[in-house]
């Protein structure tokens, strides 16, 4: 793999993938997401309050270089266009952060990384997650020159399973009750794709 520093946003047709900030806008949007019990149902954390979100974003903003095992990025997924005005208002509302992307170098030596995502329920079902994850996989395989990217998820999370399959990821493993998760034993599923497989999909 090649070391990579996240310096500028990634633009897709409808989205901007960018670094998180400690601005009130980012903290408000992220708190709305991470305090949502539906969104956090399959996450490793319980719903977070605003103070906890500020602590996490402070930590994440220090992480913008991918060079060694354990390095990671936590990126905002933002709508590229401002939302239309509210009724009885001429003011254009600001762009909204609709979710986040997680990307971690699992093994620099083996060119292996993990990808994860979280999208606010209001914006699910619109193919935003696939658009965002595809852009990050392009970065992973073309610029960072990784060999394999995988997702580690709760098999009960049907939306994430469908997204993995839509991205062309292969179901590699199903571990039974291997994690103590929110008061009960839970399974984990592994989905993955290789660099040559991602390039082959792009060439189709």
Instruction: Say yes or no to pLDDT of 176 above 90.
Output: yes
| pLDDT given for residue 88 in this prediction | 54
CA distance 63 to 105: 12
Please give the sequence-ordered ranges of beta strands (E in DSSP) within the chain, or none if there are none.
Answer: 4-5, 10-11, 15-19, 65-66, 72-79, 97-107, 112-119, 148-153, 170-181, 184-194
Q: Return the percentage of the chain with pLDDT > 70, whole number.
A: 94
| pLDDT given for residue 94 in this prediction | 66
CA angle 14, 100, 79 (to 5 degrees): 25
Tell me how crowded residue 160 is: count the other CB atoms within 10 A of its CB.
21
Q: What SS3 class is residue 199?
A: helix
Sign of CA dihedral 149, 155, 156, 159: positive
| pLDDT given for residue 82 in this prediction | 59
CA distance 138 to 58: 27
pLDDT digits (tens, 9 = 90+) for 50-94: 999 999 999 999 889 999 999 999 999 999 885 555 555 555 456
pLDDT digits (tens, 9 = 90+) for 82-136: 555 555 555 545 678 999 999 999 999 999 999 999 998 888 889 999 999 999 9
* CA-based end-to-end distance of the chain: 25
pTM above 0.85, yes or no: yes
């Amino acid at each position: 793999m090649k070391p990579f520093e996240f310096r500028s946003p990634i633009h897709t047709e409808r989205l901007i993938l960018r670094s998180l900030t400690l601005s009130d806008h980012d903290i408000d949007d992220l708190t709305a997401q991470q305090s949502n019990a539906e969104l956090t149902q399959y996450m490793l954390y319980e719903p977070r309050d605003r103070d906890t979100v500020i602590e996490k974003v402070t930590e994440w903003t220090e992480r913008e270089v991918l060079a060694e095992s354990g390095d990671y990025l936590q990126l905002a997924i933002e709508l590229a266009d401002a939302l239309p005005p509210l009724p009885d208002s001429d003011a254009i509302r600001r762009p909204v952060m609709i979710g986040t992307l997680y990307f971690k170098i699992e093994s620099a030596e083996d060119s292996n990384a993990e990808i994860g995502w979280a999208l606010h329920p209001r914006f699910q079902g619109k193919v935003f997650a696939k658009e965002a994850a595809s852009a990050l996989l392009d970065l992973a395989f073309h610029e960072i020159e990784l060999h394999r990217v995988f997702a580690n998820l709760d098999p009960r999370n049907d939306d994430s399973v469908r997204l993995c399959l839509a991205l062309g990821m292969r179901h590699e493993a199903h571990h039974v009750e291997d994690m103590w998760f929110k008061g009960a034993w839970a399974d984990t599923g592994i989905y993955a794709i290789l660099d040559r497989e991602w390039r082959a999909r792009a060439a189709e």
